[in-house]
Amino acid sequence: MVRLLFFVFLLLLLYYILHLLIRDMPSFKKRVKGKHEPEELVQDPYCLTYIPKRSALKEKVEGQVLYFCDEKCRKSYVRREAKNG
């Protein structure tokens, strides 16, 4: 009987410790809050890849706002547009 009580006590202690560890994890907090919103993706006009808007390079070309994945694509696009007129 004592062994059974000791085993139950250990299981409860383990559950409590794991619960505390998981509760404090940042990824768990995000899921619990439920405020995860999908990120808006924009297309790079040069290489045609989709990238998150918040991490894209922004450039205004001929009154239009364009988003680029990196500086290389931005420069290549500007160079190509200057060539084509």
Query: What are the start-end ranges of the H helices in 24-62?
Result: 26-33
3-state DSSP assignment of residue 43: strand
CA 85 remoteness from chain centre: 38
**Quick one: 51 and 76 in the same domain?**
yes
**Quick one: 70 and 51 in the same domain?**
yes
pLDDT in tens, 34-83: 566 788 999 999 999 999 999 999 998 888 999 999 999 999 998 998 88
Residue range of the domain that includes 56: 41-84
**Quick one: 49 and 79 in the same domain?**
yes
**Quick one: 45 and 75 in the same domain?**
yes
Question: Radius of gyration (Cα) for the chain, nearest Å?
Answer: 26
**Quick one: 51 and 78 in the same domain?**
yes
Taking the model in full, what pTM does it have? 0.55
Number of domains composing the chain = 2
Q: Give, in degrees to the nearest 5, the angle at Cα 79 between 77 and 82.
A: 110
pLDDT in tens, 15-28: 988 888 777 776 65
Q: In this structure, what CATH number is given to the domain that contains residue 64?
A: 2.30.170
